[in-house]
Amino acid sequence: MSAAYEQYLVPVVFRPFAEDLAARAAALRPRRILELAAGTGVLTSGLLAAAPAAEVTATDLNEAMVAFGSSRVPGAVWRTAPAQRLPFPDGGFDLVVCQFGVMFFPERVSAFTEVRRVLGPGARFLFNTWGPLSTHGFEVALQAGLERAFPADPPRFFPTVPHGYADPAVVAADLTAAGFTVEEEQELTLQGRAASTADLATGYLTGTPVRAAVEERGDGPAVRATVIDEMTSRLGPGPVSARMTAYVFRAAA
């Protein structure tokens, strides 16, 4: 799953936002950076390039992602760690960053409180979240393909998880409840570009948790063919592009 995610989704969906987040991080001139939910390291490599004087520690809950990321981006220190129980001392970092990971935290206020614990006074928490599903052209087309393939019981991962924390007011309230002061909240729309809808479908169907849901429900090759057909009807055969909207938050400890 890590390899498919890295090959098909990272360049198209995640790298544009990683470049933005890395530039924002570097502008804060951090010395010690902690990254949460680092995945395969697309933001990690951006942080190392944008802030070469900083020490970067990258964490992820998924051991396979940590193994893949550490081999791809060896310049960071990699650790397997849940956001709710970070194995680091109080005040050990002056910046915590997270790209499209907070939506996966089961207890967000608890996780944000833990983030605040490992930050020094006045340090920053910088992260992004996806906007509503309707603002992500690729994933609108993907979800339509899944609903066509499984009209009675389509997988709901994308509407409920990646796009399930898409109200900025709720995010800001959770940060405040954890003791942060929200300094900046920005809506950001970038363009994603892929070689083909077939590549996108392969990435989404094999490189995300939708993979398990599809395998549980039926014939994988037939599902892939249906999803590709629906995505092609909406986006074209390729190369394809779509707008993707996220929210970027910066909060002070």
- Report all structural domains of the chain as residue ranges with CATH numbers, in order of start: 2-252 (3.40.50.150)
Which residue in the block uniquely carries the two structure tokens 């996966």?
A: 104
* The pLDDT value given to residue 227: 97
The strand pair at 240-252 and 181-194 is best described as: antiparallel
- Tell me which DSSP letter residue 136 carries: B
∠ CA 230-232-236 to the nearest 5 degrees? 150
Tell me, what amino acid is at 88?
Answer: F
Give the pLDDT means over successive 10-residue stretches in the chain (253 positions): 92 98 98 97 98 98 93 97 96 98 96 98 96 98 97 95 98 98 98 96 95 86 95 94 98 97
Q: Give me the phi and psi of 82, to 5 degrees please.
A: -80, 145
- The C-alpha atoms of residue 102 and residue 89 are separated, in whole angstroms, by 21
What pLDDT does 234 receive? 97
Instruction: Quote the pLDDT of residue 55.
Output: 98
What pLDDT is attached to residue 238? 83
